[in-house]
């Protein structure tokens, strides 16, 4: 199993890095990898959201006895754990490979940073769907664009600490 996951990781990295070559003068390898893996995970998230919203919940309110969830929020809640996991694995093993922070710390920080993403997702979905009356899938796409920018900055400078200043701080602490 470990050989298979390493093979998949290496295949993803080689493929992304191949497509990075024409852009290497304009964008760093890490940023390009983030865009590629984030893009893959985002498309996966939107497709899952569409399937859950339209087919699993059939655009109907989900009644759990103690709470009723609108279908657009229920789809988000059920898709989230899946894309949380794939997003962390891609970020840790493909994008931010220079990070020297321990995996469990990264996972905790990833959870903290994703909490902000969840809050932004919830508030923006409520605003776009309930406030502005936009279609749920369009609202999810618009929400995702805002959350991507937030997520990249937090992951680079906090979760995985691969920004230049963050790496310098970590190296300073390890020397002291």
Number of domains in the chain: 1
Domain that holds residue 50: 2-175
Q: Indicate whether 53 pLDDT > 70.
A: yes
Rounded mean pLDDT of 77-100?
92
For the full predicted model, state whether its pTM sits above 0.85: no
Q: Quick one: which of 169, 137, 174 has its CA closest to 51?
A: 137
pLDDT tens readout for residues 6-34: 999 999 999 999 999 999 999 999 889 99
**CB of 154 closer than 8 Å to CB of 110:** no
Q: What is the reported pLDDT for 163?
A: 64
Crossing angle (nearest 10°) for helices 29-51 and 71-90: 150
């Amino acid at each position: 199993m470990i050989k298979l996951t390493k093979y998949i990781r290496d295949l993803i990295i080689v493929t992304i890095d191949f497509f990075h070559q024409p852009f290497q003068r304009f964008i760093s390898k890490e940023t390009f990898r983030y865009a590629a893996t984030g893009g893959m995970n985002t498309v996966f998230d939107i497709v899952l959201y569409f399937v859950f919203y339209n087919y699993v919940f059939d655009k109907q309110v989900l009644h759990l006895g103690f709470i009723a969830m609108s279908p657009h929020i229920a789809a988000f809640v059920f898709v989230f754990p899946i894309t949380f996991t794939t997003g962390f694995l891609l970020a840790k093993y493909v994008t931010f490979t220079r990070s020297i922070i321990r995996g469990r710390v990264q996972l905790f920080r990833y959870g903290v940073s994703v909490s902000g993403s969840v809050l932004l997702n919830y508030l923006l979905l409520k605003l776009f769907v309930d406030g502005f009356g936009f279609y749920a899938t369009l609202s999810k796409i618009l929400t995702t664009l805002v959350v991507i920018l937030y997520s990249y900055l937090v992951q680079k400078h906090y979760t995985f600490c691969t920004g230049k200043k963050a790496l310098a701080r970590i190296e300073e602490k390890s020397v002291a």
